[in-house]
Amino acid sequence: MDGIARLTAARRRGGKPAAAVDLALHLGEVLYGNVGAVDRLDFTVIGPAVNEVARIETLCEPLGRNVLVSATFAAALGDGGGRLERLGAHPLRGLRETREIYGLRL
């Protein structure tokens, strides 16, 4: 994220367009491979974990964070050097129960 911030700043100084980047991290099982027909084949990743992390990413703007992680990812990371902070339980579209979300400590 530091590298992206430097690139964005350099592009803006040069009068070039810059894109905002948000990142969500989660752990879970996925299926990956080529999906589609012979004339329109895409390599993609699908599964509940993909859907959940996509929903988590939509929280970046409302929470004012560029990096969010699921409780599953945070637990696998362990303490993470105290770099994560709990941002509370949030509803995610398509999921019955709220999910605990963590962000990088500012």
The domains found in the chain, sorted by start residue, are 21-104 (3.30.70.1230)
pLDDT in tens, 88-100: 999 999 999 999 9
Please choose, from the candidates 100, 26, 24, 22, the residue with its C-alpha nearest in 3D space to the C-alpha of residue 66: 22
Average pLDDT estimate for 63-89: 92
Q: Quote the pLDDT of residue 73.
A: 96
Query: What does the pLDDT read at residue 19?
Result: 86
**Does residue 106 register a pLDDT over 80?**
no
Most confident of 27-31, 33-37, 38-42: 27-31
Report CA-CA distances (Å) from 89 to 65, 92, 98. 15, 10, 6
Q: Please tell me the predicted confidence (pLDDT) of residue 38.
A: 85
